[in-house]
Amino acid sequence: MKLTTLFNEDIFVVTGEVGPIKGALSRDKSKVPQCVKEAELLKDYVHAVNVTDNQSAVMRLGSMFASVGLKNRGIEPIYQLTCRDRNRIALQSDLLTAYSFGIDNVLLLTGDHIQLGDHKEAKPVFDLDSVQLIKMARKLVEGYDLTGNRLENGIDMALGAVVNPNFEPLELQLLKMKKKVDAGAEFFQTQAVYDEAVLERCINLASKFNRPIQLGVVVLKSPQMGNFMNKNVSGITVPQEWIDQIGSVDKADRKKKAAEMMGRFIAKVKHLVQGVHIMPLGWADIVPEILQYAEIEVKKAA
């Protein structure tokens, strides 16, 4: 089901996220890949699950195949597609293929630079940028390819995009967001935000675009992770008080603490947004508890 259907019914949309495994699927069917295990844990608590595309430029199993795998297990995937590794021919072909496999939602992104990943000498493609990618996907929806050739069948997918409220200067990030809206983006997910003021400032300026926005949250698992993200993950800032708070409990109690911290934060800011996108990074099992603390009941579409 397209996420836009949920947004149109004013449902607060909850999504999770999994990263495909580093490796191929085993021919031994009894070996369930980690990303499927995580998605199964999320299944009853979210509307859909993002499937990352060689996230952080680390080479992995393909996001399209993993998305199809989730779909076949009754989990609604949001197929992530980046510009980093494909030219415009491959991007269009992959969108046609993804739709043909039954995928209804796509998140269209620039993609992290190759320098952040594990194949630093690869050729970065970036034939299109994310605005051009969204505009091209819109044409596929309308039944045409990028150069105007008529398609036998177009795609009918909800087109998602991202915005980073942490970006300075924010005005520049919002100029880009407006271009994404004009290009045809139907919903937005934000980069991870840990600061109510940062989110509020962005939402106040972005609300005029009249597109549903999901708050992005990355589950903070340890103080080390907070420091690591501040140093190494582009576009995310974890405030020191969050790092201190997760560090204030023993390792054994951190899952509980993380669920409480994330949940309470979401509860506080959820009135600003139309949904939440939870990136549990392996702690999918605490998502139900996060939602409890956040006082969010996941409503299915009518």
Partner 1 sequence: MHATIQKPIEEIVSFIKPGEKVFVVGCNNCAWKCHSGGEDETQKMAERLIRRGINVVGYTVPGPQGMSLCKLSNTRQVLQEDYKQEVSEADSFLVLACGQGVHTVIDATDGALVHPGCDTIFGGETVSDNEIEEFCSLCGECIIEYTGGLCPMTLCAKQLLNGPCGGAENGHCEVDEERPCGWIMIYERLKQLGRLELIEDYQSPKNNAKWSRPRSLRVSPNEATFCSIAGRITVSNQD
Would you tell me which residues interact with partner 1 (CB under 8 A)?
Answer: 83-84, 88, 110-113, 115-116, 124, 126-132, 135-136, 146, 162-164, 166-169, 171-173, 175-176, 178-179, 182-183, 191, 234-235, 237
Minimum Å gap between C-beta 257 and partner 1 is 27
Query: 67-81: b or e for each residue (b if 16 or more CB lie within 10 Å)?
Result: bbbbbeeebbbbbbb
- Choice between 67 and 166, CB closer to partner 1: 166
The smaller minimum CB distance to partner 1, of residues 33 and 184, is found at 184
Q: Which H/E stretch holds residue 38?
A: helix 34-42
Name the E strands within 149-233: 158-163, 187-192, 213-218
* Closer CB to partner 1, 126 or 209, in the complex: 126
Buried b (16+ CB within 10 A) or exposed e, 222-255: ebebbeebeeebeebbbeeebbebbeeeeeeebb
Q: Under a CB-based contact definition with an 8 Å cutoff, are residues 160 and 212 in contact?
A: no
Tell me how far, at minimum, the Cβ of 133 lies from partner 1, in Å.
Answer: 9
The least distance separating partner 1 from the CB of residue 195, rounded to whole angstroms, comes to 14
Name the minimum Å distance from CB 67 to partner 1.
22
Helices 170-183 and 196-206 cross at an angle (nearest 10°) of 50
Q: Which is nearer to partner 1, 51 or 161 (CB)?
A: 161
> Which residue, 69 or 216, has its beta carbon nearer to partner 1?
216
